[in-house]
Amino acid sequence: MNAAIRAVTRTALYNGLEVMGIERGYLGLVNGEFKPLHKKSVSDVLNKGGTILKTARMDTFSQKEVQERAAQVLRIFGIEGLVVIGGDGSFMGASKLAELGINTIGIPGTIDNDLAYTEFTLGFDSAVDTVVDAINKIKDTSASHERCSVVEVMGRHCGDIALYAGIAGGAEMIIVPERPYAIDDVVKVILEGRVQDKHHYLILLAEGVGGAQEMAREIQEVTGLETRATVLGHIQRGGSPSSMDRILGAQFGHRAVELLLEGKSHRVVGIRNNQIIDMDIHEALAMEKKFDEKLFTIAMEIS
Ligand code: F6P
């Protein structure tokens, strides 16, 4: 996100605009928590995880009067264009503000990679790197002790973190909300592995399916193989971002400002076939995220 904030700020300054950073998302917007951003304000942020502007969840932003107040605050501060970084909830808010006459552009920022219109969202690649790093470490102990490890990763409705990290980290089994699974499938993998003299296993489980502890208990009970569960949690939402995320942040931020300069509004930026694209917010949100079946098949066939 910081790479995107930096790119938005510097592209805008390059084009002679003034830039205000809004702290704590829509909450800060409504409360007028604005601060001027200069070239120096966004120095040395590329290597930082999280967001220098802080973040907050604001459920009441779905209320019409709160949205109107936000638009009013933006007018008071003389803001002519707004760039919102976030997921579907943030984009819904951006859409409402655009409808209230504020030129608004959305940048996809969520580790879940759960937005259908773009192949990647900011933070996803870094989160996958974090998971793979954790898997490497867990595999060391799992191999030494000849155990099965069940690792639960983030992703509420979308199994992309589990899928990508599973393929990069060599998981024996990937369990995601998009595909039904039965505990018997996991047991089968372990029993078949035993015949091939395999003694340690890694099962990657998406948060949307959940129940890592319970699954570990069941695997141990049925197979007799010692099994441990690890829930990686918020470790996935921090740390120095990957190069890919930084480059994507630069491209998204730059394009968002270009769109505002072109007088565009109610649009989101994204990436498809290695090209930066933009589209209408409603159209983007109406698209249904498709699970990458091919990648899943590859992961299973080579596991
Ligand atoms: O949407 C991103 C995400 O990291 C999800 O994967 C996870 O379920 C959720 O946020 C966690 O949210 P919180 O930090 O509010 O508990």
> What percent of the chain clears pLDDT 70, i.e. is strictly above it?
100
What structural domains does the chain harbor? Answer: 2-123+241-286 (3.40.50.450), 126-238 (3.40.50.460)
pLDDT at 251: 98
Confidence of residue 72 (pLDDT cuts 50, 70, 90): very high
112 annotated active-site:
yes
Q: Which of 44, 112, 114, 245 is catalytic?
A: 112
Q: Which residues line ligand 1 (CB under 6 A)?
A: 110-112, 154-156, 207, 237
- Residue in the structure block whose two tokens are 């996991």: 186
The structure's pTM equals 0.97
**pLDDT per residue over 11-68, tens digit each?**
999 999 999 999 999 999 999 999 999 999 999 999 999 999 999 999 999 999 999 9
> Best of 156, 157, 209 to mutate for ligand 1, by most ligand atoms within 8 A of CB?
156
For residue 60, report the distance from its CA to the centre of ligand 1, in Å.
18
CA dihedral 240, 82, 285, 207 (to 10 degrees): 30
| Cβ(159)–Cβ(292) below 8 Å | no
Average pLDDT over residues 97-114: 98
Q: Which of 237, 267, 262, 238 is nearest to 252 (CA)?
A: 267
**pLDDT per residue over 186-229, tens digit each?**
999 999 999 999 999 999 999 999 999 999 999 999 999 999 99
DSSP classification of residue 291? P
| Cβ(1)–Cβ(122) below 8 Å | yes
